[in-house]
Chain A
Amino acid sequence: MSDNVTLTIDGQSVTVPAGVTIWGAARKLSINIPILCHHFDVKPYAGCRVCVVEVQGMRAMAAACACPVSEGMVVKTNTPKVREARRLVVELLLASHPQDCLTCDRSQNCELQALASDLGIKEVRFKNTKPQLPLDANNPSLVRDPNKCVLCGRCVRVCTEKQSASVYTFANRGYQSIVTPAFGRGLENAKCTFCGQCSVICPTGSIVVKDDTEKVMEAINDPDKVVVVQTAPAVRVALGELFGAQTGAIVTPKMVGALKLLGFDRVLDTNFTADLTIWEEATEFLERLTKNRDMPMITSCSPGWINFLEMYYPALVKHHSSCKSPQQMFGALAKTFYAQKEKLDPAKIVSVSIMPCTAKKFEAKRPEMRASGFQDVDYVLSTRELGKLIKSAGICLNDVQPQNYDPIMGIGSGAGTIFGNTGGVMEAALRFAYEAVTKETLSQLEFNAVRGLNGLKEAEVDLKGTKIKVAVAHGLANARKVMEAIKDGNPHKWNFIEVMACPGGCISGGGQPISHDMNYRTKRTEGLYADDRNLKYRKSQDNPEVKAIYAEFLGEPGGHKAHELLHSHSVHH
């Protein structure tokens, strides 16, 4: 039996592997069949019927997103019948959809809006008879407006298939159908990790990031406050997309310039505390390895992952590193070390972070994240929010004068920058641990076994006699597999595990720009690896500012002061 199938679409012959859908085959001919419920990250659902096509010999029209091709199939994607059916489907959706597009968070980036425009819908003949449902906004990260839901089920699928959290479900039946967490609860009571993947995959403004931009602008406009901003590794490789840059373009100097134009008083780099995290975490790992304490050790940078661990595997919380995330290390130091160095009153510092992440908003508000005596990080903005802030200020990112980060906590190494990729924290830690254990210079910096988008990566690393087995998981469904293995006694004998809540790591975090490029993860990943190659320092242990902070302020990695500020104890039992 042949593995390839030849069919005809709109009079053109095309050969594709068996199992490909009509939608996939049409793409090969550059025919973009419109879709709404379908998304390349999740399994086909065929719920919305926007992608219907006529197939010769089939009684009813087929959903191209789910219908597999067959030999000799004759498909027509643009007949009057197809056009009318698609228009009717979208018109019915529009009838029960709020007409507030101009003020919607997703205006100009809404798939329903684009469909209505592409299909040329000029009027909606039907009246909305759906009752108004309340907003779900009692959490720091996300806002759900069920009235804007088109029941595509993408959030249901991504949360189940990719994140294994299954927060959302379809409830009720027929015209009463809604997408909701169990019992109609708000996300704060639904074991939601706030990873925000639902907000990236939602085609409309039904699930959006909670907007904190006005609070940040208020702080900037307060002459009494010194507003210090940090930018996470993955922001620099994605922000440009919001301004027309190619997917994966690094825009660090322009981003820094734009932040200064916006009025931030100090623009600093989370990569600095990523490097610091490596000093602390690798030190902790080597100590735990020697003493065989709470092994295997799992990274703790991803707050969505930490939420998942606490809620779904509370008995295994001891396995995660006590290190705070780079964001929170930065926050704790901004109002202590940085305030001292710069002779600033910590009470007047407003600490802002730009993150690819929605769970970071939750993390910043955790009660234990007040090591400085204040809330260590005051406001967290996602990459998407920063894009809006820049646009609202009339700043054209492409024309911004490139600028460098400010000194002290402004230098990051390539090891810090690859934190944004799945496997990056592991690779950075290995670059550190190798030299710490062997006392030799590492010549081959790339650990290719932990790179790439495989859901679960494993490697054995020989630190000149000390062999360690590492694993890297991204996407919480893969994290769940890791945790089940640990529950079963760790049969793979892993010593050190990196987990990132989001598939691909932070480069495709819940706060990142929404991309319609099927290869956006690969492109952003490559962007950060290129950034690593181009940086002056590529190992966390070479970062001069990190060496200085240990000499001047922190003392030893894992020492008393480091523990006080950089480690979290209330979650570590």
Chain B
Amino acid sequence: MSHNAPSPCKCVDLAKLEPVFQQYRKKTGALIPVLQAAQDIYGYLPIEVMESIAENLNVPVSQVYGVVTFYAQFHLEPRGKHIIRSCQGTACHVRGASRILGALKENLNVEPGHTTADLQFTLETVACIGCCSLAPVIMVGENAHARLKPSGIAKILDGYRD
């Protein structure tokens, strides 16, 4: 019955949040900085974490959920070790970005916005990375990979796998 609900994880150590709460408890407008700090700790925002934040900041849990789903910076699902950003900008588009994205999806077996089951990669699309002369381009973590062909994707990804 629930839609876009993240799967609950039983392995969250809520004690790690305590220093964050100590800093922000009883401060108004603390919700977003606390969510950011929590995401830095856990890599994403598990349900238990959001519930704990609601309780400790005395904010309805529905409001926490509303804020988290509004902002693109917050993630309800675990994130991969490596974040892949596939550029969809104009220059990349005319130079075959859709085929690059297709190769990424096929290799990783995930849709954009999602994470591989082994938590190695999260695939995202971005509007423009800002290095159009290198089109088509993707970034893996902080590294740019330029002038790509679909056939080269597998080798690039293998270089990041554990």
Contact = CB atoms under 8 A, between A and B. Distances in A.
Contacts of B4: 172, 184
Contacts of A190: 62
B5 interface: yes
A168 interface: yes
Contacts of B60: 160, 166, 169, 182
Contact of A183 (B2, B63, B70): B2
Given A166-B62, A169-B66, A183 B5 contact: yes
Interface residues of B, number: 17
B140 to A, nearest CB: 27
B150 interface: no
A182 B62 contact: yes
A168 B70 CA distance: 15
Contacts of A168: 62
A170 interface: yes
Nearest to B67: A169
A186 B2 contact: yes
Contact of A136 (B1, B6, B65, B69): B1
A181 interface: yes
B69 A173 contact: yes
B47 interface: yes
Interface string B1-29: 11111100000000000000000000000
Contact of A185 (B5, B50, B64, B66): B5
Interface in B34-86: 47, 50, 60-66, 69-70
Among B1, B5, B47, B50, the one with the most A-chain Cβ atoms within 10 Å of its Cβ is B1
Interface string A173-217: 100000011111110001100000000000000000000000000
A393 interface: no
A161 to B, nearest CB: 12
Contacts of A181: 62
A191 B47 CA distance: 15
A133 interface: yes
B3 A134 contact: yes
A138 interface: yes
Among A136, A183, A190, the one with the most B-chain Cβ atoms within 10 Å of its Cβ is A183
A169 B65 contact: yes
Interface in A120-174: 133-136, 138, 160, 166-173
A166 B47 CA distance: 17
Interface string A489-508: 00000000000000000000
B51 to A, nearest CB: 8
Among B6, B47, B66, the one with the most A-chain Cβ atoms within 10 Å of its Cβ is B66
Interface string A366-398: 000000000000000000000000000000000
B1 A182 contact: no
A132 B60 CA distance: 27
Interface string B66-110: 100110000000000000000000000000000000000000000
Given A172-B69, A172-B70, A173-B70, A184 B62 contact: no
A182 B47 CA distance: 10
A138 B5 CA distance: 17
A169 B6 CA distance: 17
A184 B70 contact: no
A166 B62 CA distance: 7
Contacts of B47: 183
B74 to A, nearest CB: 12
Contacts of A170: 66, 70
A183 B62 CA distance: 8
Contact of B61 (A160, A172, A182): A182
Contacts of B64: 182
Contacts of B3: 133-134, 180, 184
Contacts of A180: 3, 65
A167 B62 contact: yes
Nearest to A187: B1
Among B6, B47, B62, the one with the most A-chain Cβ atoms within 10 Å of its Cβ is B62
Nearest to B71: A173
Contacts of B1: 134-136, 138, 186
A183 B3 CA distance: 8
A166 B66 CA distance: 11
A451 to B, nearest CB: 32
A167 B64 CA distance: 11
Interface in A467-510: none
A520 to B, nearest CB: 28
A171 B66 contact: yes
Given A166-B60, A173-B70, A182 B2 contact: no
Contacts of B6: 183
Contacts of A160: 60
A171 B65 contact: yes
A408 B153 CA distance: 83
Contacts of B66: 169-171
A481 to B, nearest CB: 15
A191 B50 CA distance: 15
B24 to A, nearest CB: 20
A51 B61 CA distance: 32
B65 A182 contact: yes
A192 to B, nearest CB: 10
28 contacts: A134-B1, A134-B3, A138-B1, A160-B60, A166-B60, A166-B62, A168-B62, A169-B60, A169-B63, A169-B65, A169-B66, A170-B66, A170-B70, A171-B65, A171-B69, A172-B69, A172-B70, A173-B69, A173-B70, A180-B65, A182-B50, A182-B61, A182-B64, A183-B2, A183-B5, A184-B4, A186-B2, A190-B62
Interface of B: 1-6, 47, 50, 60-66, 69-70
Given A181-B62, A182-B61, 20 more contacts: A133-B3, A135-B1, A160-B60, A166-B60, A166-B62, A166-B63, A169-B62, A171-B65, A171-B66, A171-B69, A172-B70, A173-B69, A180-B3, A180-B65, A183-B5, A183-B6, A183-B65, A184-B2, A184-B5, A191-B61
